[in-house]
Structures are given as structure tokens and as C-alpha cells.
Amino acid sequence: MMGDSSPKTPLDLVCPIPIQEYPQVLLAHGGGGSLMQQLIQKMFLPSFNNPALEMLGDGALLDRPDGQLAFTTDSYVVHPLFFPGGDIGSMAVNGTVNDLAMCGARPMYLSAGFILEEGLPMETLWRVVRSMADAANKAGVALVTGDTKVVDRGKGDGVFINTAGVGEVVASRPVAPASIRPGDIILVNGDVGRHGIAIMAQREGLAFETTIQSDCAPLAELVLALLDAEIEIHCLRDLTRGGLAAALVEIAEKAQRQINIRESDIPVNQEVQAACEILGFDPIYVANEGRFVAFVRPEHAERALELMRAHPLGASSAIIGQVEDAASGLVTFSSRIGATRVIDLLSGEQLPRIC
Amino acid sequence: MMGDSSPKTPLDLVCPIPIQEYPQVLLAHGGGGSLMQQLIQKMFLPSFNNPALEMLGDGALLDRPDGQLAFTTDSYVVHPLFFPGGDIGSMAVNGTVNDLAMCGARPMYLSAGFILEEGLPMETLWRVVRSMADAANKAGVALVTGDTKVVDRGKGDGVFINTAGVGEVVASRPVAPASIRPGDIILVNGDVGRHGIAIMAQREGLAFETTIQSDCAPLAELVLALLDAEIEIHCLRDLTRGGLAAALVEIAEKAQRQINIRESDIPVNQEVQAACEILGFDPIYVANEGRFVAFVRPEHAERALELMRAHPLGASSAIIGQVEDAASGLVTFSSRIGATRVIDLLSGEQLPRIC
């Protein structure tokens, strides 16, 4: 390799389990015996290398944080496993990192629970693990404890991943729906609906002439930049299942405050808009994996917008609405011509297994 | 109900989701819309009732613990979901509680991630949730954050559950394989192999004349009683997948110490022994869900045994062996007639999906 200075992506690395011997995951890889030990020692430990994980106890021992703890979990069942802009591995890290960030916390530690289907190509598992390791490095979190189960063929779907996360709360005031107040300005960190449309295009093999990539990304750095700058943030929510609409409806109901959004101010990419029109979707209900709303004190809104736009994950940030002086618990969208409609939850998701 | 003082088991309670309307779990129950909200509000919140969960943020906010943190995760894919002595719900709580206890920690908080298969009877989910809630109450832990995903029919197997756990380390010295020393005495808190045989009998519908129940139980109270009594514990390990043998082999390898077990001192129930003989299993490799080994300072062994036997989950506790003054990293079993054999890991588990 001497003289070769071209960057290697981690996926260039060879799968550490001999593929010719174990081309697929077997039930025994989850059985607590020597094959599971091989998987742990050769694949998981080197990928997620850190002292807490290396202890390989029944759990990881962590240093006591300085602040209050935030604790969250999500399972990831996205189909397909790989899609433009991400995969189940990067999602499983970023999604849980983002949930911690939405608590006003600095993500620190993740756990990973794999549920593998017998017959999964070993190479596929390796791609997922490498992607998780890369995402954890980028997000600055350590994967410190884990578990692997294998279920019989036909009783799973390749790979499901659960991650739980522990973080340290850095926000100096409660970041929660109950903290929002009339006049609060609502910002979003970019255009909505990319993740759902990227998955849809990939899944259905649609003949979209689309280059839409998922927005899957770790949001903690951006949120921490706002907190560092002493932006008074009252509430944060990432826009996953159910999209922008579901996040706003839940916050309005929980806070019993009315929220008004100027529909024309919601950033939507043209390709996403076109795809939504073809598919009969409304982009406000489409899932995202790297978008969030922030409710901030009115006097801080312009500064927050500047800070968000200065970050690579917030370049197309926008102010989209505010909290009204009414206790209706409703979300209203006003159109350019002055019409107003009340937004509600869909009964489900337009597109299952989006995350 | 006045005058009715007969104890009600929680399973007597009616499923809070109207069964006639939603007899089965639908994809929409995991879709981020109103059906998922109904499931959360009507089933999960009342069952796991606690202030941190009720916040329903992207994560739970926890009080900062006094000590070092322990953090662990496990996914549960046991088949069948219900078996003599337990079910996937009680296992998902007890298993993670036990992993924390094995770190010398007091279990405090759990997360729960459900992966449900479309078509799962709603009543089945309710039985599992009630069982988890009961187990959490008994173990003294709060389920503070969660997630629900639904996968298409044929892409899962009823219910998979991941739980992650956070606890506070109370052991005053490191409880880990690296801490074991020559002369340490090894205790087990009861007879081994019940869980695996209970599952096997249930799964295969075998015509065993068996009343064997799983040993599924929360071990933290028993472990904390030892720590409270200042028993010097060097290592703890619960005997799950791979059984007693796998736990000992992993500890010996990790510590690079030789462990010797007197085979005749290992408690095995007669029915379990008989079932193992029929099935061709060795009880030392069969999974447990409420058994652990403790490596203690020799001078403390008798007192530890007394304390363990005084606890309902340790009535048949026994001293089974000791750490030798050799750095072989091997586990040897000596028989009554003086023969010695080296124990190794199986390549997998004799019985997949045991936990």
C-alpha cells in the first residue's frame, strides 16, 4: 500500500469473517457459542473499538456524567437496507443520536441490538456494521454494549437493529413541548420529505428520474451550536415517522397551544415535490432522518437562523411559523392566499418501514 | 367491585384497545400516526406509568445517579412467546435487569423497543405488555422510554422486544473476569437448565411428563444482598445462552485463569436431567434465565452461600468449584471418580431462539 495515498472508504476493507467458510449468517451465530464469539471478536470489537466495549461484560461501565441523563431507544426496520444517502446502519446511529439531541443532550454512548435473519449474507452484515462504525465516529459517540440474535429464515427480514442511547443534558432549561410560549418562532433546518421519497424510489424501483438522497444525518452538533450560542430553545423535535405534520401536531396537543405555519415558507425540494405529486403524498407527512424543528424565543430567531444556515446540515434552514396566543392545541397551515386549514395526524404512515 | 377482595392478576384486565375494532396489530400501529398514538396513550402509558415516560419526549430525562453507570442491552426473540414460568415480556425485563446486576449495579431504568409483526393479535400484545409491567414492578425498575415498529406479515415473528437498561454501580470494587484470583470460590444460585428445557418441552409439544418451569427471575435483589453484606465479589455472570459452560469458558479465557468445577456439585433437577438424557443435551450447556455464578473471596464463601440460600431465588445455591493457580485459561470439570475433562464452547446453541 506504500505510496497509495488515495482515501479508502471503510467498505473497501475485507470482511473479517472468512466469506468462503461462512457466506451467510447461521443460527449458531446467535447461539452463545464459538461462532458468536468469532463474530464478536472479529467483526464487532474491531469496528466499534473502545475500552468500555472491550470489557465485554454483561453491560458497559460508563463514567458518571456531569449533568442530568437523557436515555432513548429506537428500533430500525427500514426496507430496503441500503438506499440513496444512507442505510440501516447509519440510520440506527443517527436516529438515536438525534433523539438525544432533541432532548438538549450531548450524545455519548450507544448500545446496539442486532436481530439477524438466518441466511443473511455475511458481506451485508459487514457493510451495515462498517456503516454504523463510520456514523458513530462522525457523531462522536461510542458504541459500548451490544447483543446479537439470529432468527430462523422467514421470521425476520435480513437485519433489524435497535440502538439505545445515553447522553448528558447540556440545555440549561427544559426543552419540551410544555416549555413553548405564545410568540415562539419555529425554525426547520432544511427541506422536508427527502428520506421518505429516497426510500420509496429505491423500494419500488420507480422509473423516477430522481437523484433524491435521504437527509439521514446526525443533528447533535448543530443543536449544540445553538445551545452554545445561548439561543433560548423551548422545544426541539426531529421529523421522522409522520413527518413535519406529526411532530407539530404532537407538540401542539401536548402543550395545548396553537401553532401556525405559513405553508409557503416550508422548504421543499422541487424533485421531492414532483415525486409527491405523482405518488399522491403530501411532503409534510413524509419522513425525514436529518430534519428537526426548533421553537425559540422570538428575539433569538434571526440569530438562530444564521447559526443554522452556517452549518452544513442547516444550509437551507427557514423560519416557518410561530406559536399563537390560543390554547386550542391545533396546528393550522395558512396558504399564500390567506386560506387556513387544520392539520391532523394520518391514521398511519403513507409508507411503512421507512425507518 | 365493592366487597370483592379476591386478588386479580393483571391479565384479568381488559385490553385497552377495543379488540372488536382492532383485533390485530396493523402496519399503521407503527406508522407515527393516530393509531400509533392510540397504542401509546391507551396501552403503553398506563401500563408503564411513571413521570419520565409520561414526558413522551424523544428520550427520557433521568436524575443523575450517584455512582458510575452501567448500561446494557438485549433483544428477545424467544419462541414460543409464552412458556411455563414466563413469557417474552417477563424475560425482556428480567434479562436486562440481570445483566445490570452482573455488573454489580442496581437496575434503575429500562427502555423497550417493540418490533411487531402485522397481524399479531392485539390481545397477545396486551398480555406481553402486562407481563413486562408486572416484571418491572417486581424488579423495581422504571420503563422510561420506548419505540414501536411494525413489520409486514411474514417479515417478523409475532413480537421481538429489545430492552436496554441503565443502572448505578454499587459494587465498591471492579466486578469482572479480570478481578478473579486463584483460590476464589465459585457459587451458583440454583439448579441449571430449567429455562431451556421448559422452552423445549413447550415448543416441541413433547409428551414429556414434565412440570419444569423456566427459572426466569430478576436477580438484582439477591446480588445486592451479597454486596450489602460486604461479600467480596470478584466476578458475576448470568447463565443464559450457552449455559453454565459458556459463562465459565468466557470468564476463564478472559481472565487467563484455570477454573475447576466439581461436576457432582452442580445442582441439576431430576426432571431436567431426565429430559436432557432423552434429548441428548448436557445441562451445563442449557440456557437459564435466573441463574448466575459468583466468584467470591474464599474466606467469604460460606457466608455468601448462607445469604444466597436465605433468598427465595437462591434456595438451592451451591459451591461448585474454584479458581486454580494456573494461567491456562481453561475450564476443567472433575468427576466423582477423579477423571477430568476440559470444557469448551459449542459452536452454537443446542436450541435456537431460547431467549
Neighbours of A57 (CB within 10 A): 25
Q: Is the minimum CB–CB distance between A100 and chain B shorter than 8 Å?
A: yes
* H-state helical runs in chain B: 34-38, 45-47, 51-54, 88-101, 122-139, 194-203, 220-228, 243-255, 270-279, 301-309
Alpha-carbon dihedral sign for residues A78, A83, A87, A91: negative
Q: Which residue has the cell 445490570?
A: B100
Number of H helices, E strands in chain A: 10, 14
Domain residue limits, chain A: 11-48, 67-169, 177-343
Mutate to test the interface with B, among A24, A25, A75 (most CBs of B within 10 A): A75
| pLDDT value for A11 | 53
Per DSSP, helices labelled H in A28-153 are 34-38, 45-47, 51-54, 88-101, 122-139
**Cα dihedral: B157, B149, A148, B282 (round 10):** -30
For A75-130, write each residue's pLDDT tens digit: 999 999 999 999 999 999 999 999 999 999 999 999 999 999 999 999 999 999 99
Q: A199 with A83: CB under 8 angstroms?
A: yes
Cell of A100: 438525544
- Site of grid cell 444556515: A309
**pLDDT score at A67:** 79
Q: Do domains B67-169 and B177-343 have the same CATH topology?
A: no
Band of pLDDT at residue A1, cut at 50, 70 and 90: very low
Q: What is the CATH number of domain B177-343?
A: 3.90.650.10
pLDDT band at A196 (very low <50, low <70, confident <90, very high): very high
Residue A157 in contact with partner chain B when CB distance is under 8 A: yes
Residues in chain A with CB shorter than 8 Å from the CB of B64 are 64-65, 67-69
pLDDT given at position B211 = 84
C-alpha cell at B113: 423497543
Cβ-contact A157, B151 below 8 angstroms: yes
Tell me if A90 sits within 8 A of A82, measured CB to CB.
Answer: no
Side chain identity at A105, as an amino acid letter?
A
Is the Cα torsion angle B109, B353, B153, B17 positive or negative in sign?
A: negative
Question: Which of A197, A207, A193, A185 has the alpha carbon at shortest distance from A293?
Answer: A185
Percent helix / strand / coil, chain B, rounded to 5: 35, 25, 40
Helices in B204-338 by DSSP H: which ranges? 220-228, 243-255, 270-279, 301-309
By the 10 Å C-beta count (0-12 exposed, 13-18 middle, 19+ buried), B333 is classed as buried
What pLDDT, on a 0 to 100 scale, did the predictor assign at position B206? 65
Option in A35, A55, A71 nearest B62 (CB): A71
- Conformation bin of residue B219: beta by default, left when phi > 0, alpha when psi is -120 to 50: alpha
Q: Residue A355: its chain B contacts at CB < 8 A? A: 149
Q: pLDDT of A309-338, one tens digit each? A: 999 999 999 999 999 999 999 999 999 888
Query: Residues A43-85: pLDDT tens digits?
Result: 999 999 998 898 877 889 888 777 789 999 999 999 999 999 9
Query: What would the grid cell of residue A228 be?
Result: 452554545
**Nearest CB neighbour to B345, from listed A34, A63, A64:** A34
Q: How far from each other are the two terminal CA atoms of chain A, in whole angstroms?
A: 39
For residues B235 and B300, the answer to whether their CB atoms sit within 8 Å is no
pLDDT by residue for chain B (355 residues), tens only, comes to 333 334 444 455 799 999 999 999 999 999 989 999 999 999 999 999 998 888 877 889 888 777 789 999 999 999 999 999 999 999 999 999 999 999 999 999 999 999 999 999 999 999 999 999 999 999 999 999 999 999 999 999 999 999 999 999 999 999 999 999 999 999 999 999 999 999 988 887 765 666 899 999 999 999 999 999 999 999 999 999 999 999 999 999 999 999 999 999 999 999 999 999 988 999 999 999 999 999 999 999 999 999 999 999 999 999 999 999 999 999 999 998 889 999 999 888 888 899 9
Contact B149/A75, CB-based, under 8 Å?
Answer: yes
What confidence tens digit (pLDDT) does each residue in A138-189 have?
Answer: 999 999 999 999 999 999 999 999 999 999 999 999 999 999 999 999 999 9
Architecture in CATH of B67-169? 2-Layer Sandwich (3.30)
Q: Which residue has the higher pLDDT, B273 or A10?
A: B273
Count the helix, strand and coil residues of chain A and give each as a percent rounded to the nearest 5: 35, 25, 40
Residue B100: which of A59, A74, A236 has the nearest Cβ?
Answer: A59
pLDDT of A12 reads 58
